[in-house]
A and B are shown apart, each in its own frame.
Chain A
Amino acid sequence: MSYIGKFRVWRGDANGGSLEDYQVEVNEGEVVLDVIHRLQATQAPDLAVRWNCKAGKCGSCSAEINGKPRLMCMTRMSTFSEDETITVTPMRAFSVIRDLVTDVSYNYEKARMVPSFQPPKDLAPGEYRMQQVDVERSQEFRKCIECFLCQNTCHVIRDHEENKPAFSGPRFLMRIAELEMHPLDTADRRDLAQDEHGLGYCNITKCCTEVCPEGIHITDNALIPMKERVAGRRYDPVVWLGNKLFRRNRA
């Protein structure tokens, strides 16, 4: 069954732009990205859109559909009614390059700031031995496809451009948590998380979790445990005293 769907797509660049109305054919089983491609093929050949896999695995096609941050390739047309106007805009926390394409370099800069995995010095690659229970928590975070929808939705930077230098966003705080929970990692990134990556800015309002297409429990499993780890180091007088008196090593 096909029908002519009503679409409003943001067209423009950093100097300005607007929502343009289009009527595009929609076929059964299609996703928003299919329609955007048809629009590009039939009516707007200069429409800029980023995509790669069309399978929800490359993280390229992030956009906002009816105001909600989503992957275009994972948003089924069947979730909308036929007379509904569907609005597609670029992600709104990043600078727009053109049409639906934004400049996500902020994320790569933040990624580079996270110190990488540090195995014990006396362990050669190939000698790593880990138990499944020890790596399970980190594995959830490895599902991330770097679509940056969480970064885009996080109000800390979405609503406050000025916080970008101080705050790395959920994706990279989660990366820090992943390494902190890794059984073979020897570095301590707790102070770094708080001081360089702005963990304290997060007010655990869970929008990152809400929009993550991989369904990662970013807030509950990464950010809050990370806040607890930082609290243990920085804001817990009992732990502080215990460490002073008994010079406990980390478990």
Chain B
Amino acid sequence: MTTHETGVNAPPRARLPVPTLRADRWWLGPALTVTGLTIFVVYATFRAFQQAHYFVAEYHYLTPFYSPCVSLGCTEEASLFGRFLPDHPLIPYAAVSLPFLLLFRMTCYYYRKAYYRSFWLSPPACAVPEPHRKYTGETRFPLILQNIHRYFFYAAGIVAVINTYDAIVAFQSPSGFGLGLGNVILLVNVALLWAYTLSCHSCRHVIGGRLKHFSKHPVRYWLWTKVSLLNGRHMELAWITLGTLMLTDFYIAMVAGGVISDVRFIG
């Protein structure tokens, strides 16, 4: 870690022989963040481009990583919204939703904090100097684009509706109605996705945070208090949903690939 002329050891500030006197494990947080995010990115990239094991036809389980399945390469039954994207190894089957979901998370206020602190070390931890000579934050291109986060929130809302629909149509089996472990997993996943999406800071703003007079808008105020409750858990939900997304996808991939068979309760 460097300290440069403009930072903590620049006169007339109190000069010290070391950049930080923190002796606790301040590096643990950023290290865990890098590990967690890397695992997800590697897994998600592999799965998004694998173009296989995404659908269990028997029970109509579609993994969220392939929803909506709109490529000409998709199994017909899996594509509930038509097939129109060219079938190409570099175009994920869900190429209409994945980029928005990626941008939603990349511009998320929590993930921003997480990767600024860990990947960019700006700052690595509180009162630990950052290694960069210059800093302009989110005042310039490209980071000024973080300000359009709320559009990705709207897009993510639409995708959450689609995921909900996927989870509902999955209650089937060759003999009609069906219920299996896959359904439970899909439902839990979609419920948590909603919780994460609705806990978004942009959501909190548009639902009521932008108002000056809560008393004139009792319904929006009530909604705002609920969103604020969720918002307090935004970081937890951000991590939990990364985990549930991977688990859901992994379970469906295992069932679709014939490695395991779904635990069935009905049908």
Q: Which 3 residue pairs across A and B have the least CB separation, nearest first?
A: A67-B21, A67-B22, A14-B12
Q: Which residues of A contact B8 (CB under 8 A)?
A: 92-93, 158-159
Q: Which stretch, A25-33, A108-116, A222-230, touches the partner chain B?
A: A222-230
Bound state CA distance, A100 and B231, in angstroms? 38
A203 touches B212 (CB 8 A): no
Most chain B beta carbons < 10 A, residue from A10, A201, A227, A234: A227
Cβ-defined partner of A203 (8 Å) among B116, B126, B215, B221: B116
Q: Which residues of B contact A133 (CB under 8 A)?
A: 214-215, 221
Bound state CA distance, A225 and B202, in angstroms? 8
Shortest Cβ distance from B202 into chain A, in angstroms?
Answer: 6
Closest-by-CB residue of A relative to B217 is A251
Shortest Cβ distance from B211 into chain A, in angstroms?
Answer: 5
Q: Which stretch, A38-46, A119-127, A206-214, touches the partner chain B?
A: A206-214
> Known: A68-B22, A224-B201, A228-B210. Contact between A153 and B139, CB under 8 A?
no
Shortest Cβ distance from A229 into chain B, in angstroms?
Answer: 6
Main secondary structure of the interface of B (DSSP, over half): loop
Interface residues of B (CB under 8 A from A): 6-8, 10-17, 20-24, 109, 112-113, 116-117, 122-123, 126-127, 129-130, 132, 134-139, 143-144, 147-150, 201-202, 204-205, 209-217, 221, 231-232
What's the count of A-B pairs with C-beta under 8 Å? Answer: 170
A96 touches B112 (CB 8 A): no
Bound state CA distance, A167 and B7, in angstroms? 15
Shortest Cβ distance from B266 into chain A, in angstroms?
Answer: 43
Q: Which residues of B contact A227 (CB under 8 A)?
A: 147
Q: Which residues of B contact A198 (CB under 8 A)?
A: 137, 139
Most chain A beta carbons < 10 A, residue from B129, B210, B231: B210
B6 touches A67 (CB 8 A): no
A231 touches B138 (CB 8 A): no
Main secondary structure of the interface of A (DSSP, over half): mixed
> Known: A14-B11, A64-B21. Contact between A234 and B147, CB under 8 A?
yes
Shortest Cβ distance from A51 into chain B, in angstroms?
Answer: 18
A230 touches B147 (CB 8 A): yes
B7 touches A134 (CB 8 A): no
B210 touches A201 (CB 8 A): no
Closest-by-CB residue of A relative to B234 is A220
Q: Which residues of A contact B23 (CB under 8 A)?
A: 66-67
> Known: A64-B21, A89-B16, A251-B217. Contact between A159 and B123, CB under 8 A?
yes
Bits for A190-217, please: 1 = Cβ < 8 Å to B, else 0. 0000000010111111110011000000
Bound state CA distance, A133 and B228, in angstroms? 14
B127 touches A203 (CB 8 A): no
Q: How large is the interface on A (under 10, 10 to 19, 20 to 34, 35 or more residues)?
A: 35 or more
A sample of 8 cross-chain residue pairs with beta-carbon separation below 8 angstroms, ordered by A number, consists of A66-B22, A131-B213, A161-B10, A200-B137, A229-B210, A235-B148, A236-B150, A251-B211
Q: Which residues of A contact B113 (CB under 8 A)?
A: 203-206
Bound state CA distance, A228 and B209, in angstroms? 9
Bound state CA distance, A147 and B21, in angstroms? 21
A96 touches B12 (CB 8 A): yes
Bound state CA distance, A201 and B136, in angstroms? 6
Q: Which residues of B contact A185 (CB under 8 A)?
A: 212
Closest-by-CB residue of A relative to B203 is A228
Bound state CA distance, A19 and B113, in angstroms? 33
A90 on the B face (CB < 8 A): yes
A69 on the B face (CB < 8 A): yes
A158 touches B7 (CB 8 A): yes
Q: With A159-B123, A181-B212, A251-B217 given, name 17 new contacts (CB 8 A).
A: A66-B22, A134-B214, A156-B137, A158-B8, A158-B129, A159-B132, A159-B135, A183-B212, A198-B137, A204-B109, A206-B113, A207-B123, A207-B126, A211-B126, A225-B205, A228-B205, A232-B210
